[in-house]
């Protein structure tokens, strides 16, 4: 079905709530999580709907119906609110012909999670399991993709690693403090944990700085080179479960100006600066003489806004993320 795969990164600019519905636990409205790991994620359906809406706004701003037609051809036909002139383009033997879209997405996985630090404001934390999963996903894009050194003998599953000896996170020489926990740094992976692709080999944080922040010497570009921490899997799991943002909200009764009975609730957010990635899957259009895969992706890439909104509470400024397509 799908012919090509490309990675698409999301960097949360504001706290993001892609919800899983209501629950009876401590958090009334939790975020979506992987069932087997508990790591936060964005469901593929949430991604596809949000990106479709963002691109619809982009191509429909000039009122050109050709752009609206392309939306249906790429994402699949949806007759909700569609003009008759657009419907006529998809009619066959007098009936609207439905077909699947030529683009798909995987669930967005968490790669880097921000955690408050005693020094350097915050750290981006990850773990060996997240890195190995990232490498396996990237191999769907480029079969030669691998982490050189990730299986080295000195990389243990219960140890803590920094990438850069000049990290701003260090306290008292060789320790870092994340939230209220102190970790002793076991070793540094600078020049050891590298990404190997068809294009060559380069240090993992340098690759992220280049792909996500254009390696332009900005604050974010330099920070991601210095302040990534590789934690043991169990510690990473604890942070992504216990260090998300939980916000308590309520509703005011307009008649009394006080809190409305039964209107108190709390909801969970993935913190700003979280970094996730999805895989964009493209295929030839599902119709005779339709678009080829290359044209489908070209339309998507050229019309994808740099900033989109994903998840709930758009009117509260939540869910603002920047997008970055990476070509391996």
pTM above threshold 0.75: yes
pLDDT on residue 263: 79
Mean predicted confidence (pLDDT) in 279-308: 91
Class of residue 63 by CB neighbours under 10 A (exposed 0-12, middle 13-18, buried 19+): exposed
pLDDT on residue 153: 47
Mean predicted confidence (pLDDT) in 294-307: 95
pLDDT on residue 100: 80
Q: Cβ(321)–Cβ(311) under 8 Å?
A: no
Token couple for 126: 């990850």
Task: For 132-187, write each residue's pLDDT tens digit.
Answer: 899 999 999 999 898 886 555 445 567 899 988 889 999 988 899 999 999 999 87
Please tell me the least confidently modeled range out of 156-160, 222-226, 238-242, 305-309.
156-160
Please tell me the least confidently modeled range out of 53-62, 85-94, 137-146, 176-185.
85-94
Token couple for 192: 């050891």
C-alpha 120/C-alpha 223 separation (Å) is 9
pLDDT on residue 147: 85
- What is the distance between the terminal CA atoms of the chain, rounded to a whole angstrom? 21
Q: Cβ(10)–Cβ(270) under 8 Å?
A: no
Q: Cβ(274)–Cβ(42) under 8 Å?
A: no
pLDDT band of residue 251 (cuts 50, 70, 90) is confident
The residue that leads in pLDDT, 309 or 149, is 309
């Amino acid at each position: 079905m799908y012919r090509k795969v490309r990675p698409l990164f999301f960097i949360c600019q504001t706290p993001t709530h892609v919800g899983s519905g209501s629950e009876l636990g401590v958090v009334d409205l939790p975020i979506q999580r992987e069932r087997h790991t508990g790591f936060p994620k964005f469901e593929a359906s949430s991604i596809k709907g949000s990106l479709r809406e963002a691109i619809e706004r982009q191509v429909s701003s000039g009122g050109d119906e050709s752009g609206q037609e392309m939306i249906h051809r790429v994402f699949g036909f949806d007759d909700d609110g569609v003009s008759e002139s657009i419907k006529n383009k998809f009619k066959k033997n007098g009936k609207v012909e439905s077909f699947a879209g030529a683009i798909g997405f995987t669930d967005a996985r968490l790669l880097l999670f921000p955690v408050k630090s005693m020094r350097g404001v915050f750290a981006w934390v990850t773990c060996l399991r997240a890195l190995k999963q990232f490498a396996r996903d990237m191999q769907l894009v480029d079969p030669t993709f691998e982490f050189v050194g990730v299986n080295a003998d000195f990389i243990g599953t219960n140890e803590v690693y920094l990438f850069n000896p000049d990290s701003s996170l260090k306290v008292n020489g060789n320790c870092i403090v994340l939230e209220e926990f102190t970790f002793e740094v076991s070793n540094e992976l600078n020049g050891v944990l590298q990404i190997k692709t068809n294009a060559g080999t380069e240090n993992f944080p340098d690759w992220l700085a280049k792909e996500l922040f254009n390696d332009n010497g900005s604050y974010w570009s330099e920070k991601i080179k210095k302040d990534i921490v590789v934690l043991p899997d169990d510690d990473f799991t604890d942070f992504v479960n216990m260090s998300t943002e939980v916000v308590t909200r309520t509703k005011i009764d307009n008649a009394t100006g006080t809190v409305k009975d039964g209107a108190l609730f709390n909801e969970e957010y993935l913190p700003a600066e979280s970094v996730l990635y999805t895989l964009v899957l493209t295929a030839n259009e599902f119709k005779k003489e339709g678009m080829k895969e290359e044209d489908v992706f070209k339309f998507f890439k050229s019309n994808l806004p740099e900033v989109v909104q994903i998840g709930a509470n758009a009117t509260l400024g939540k869910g603002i993320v920047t997008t970055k397509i990476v070509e391996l």
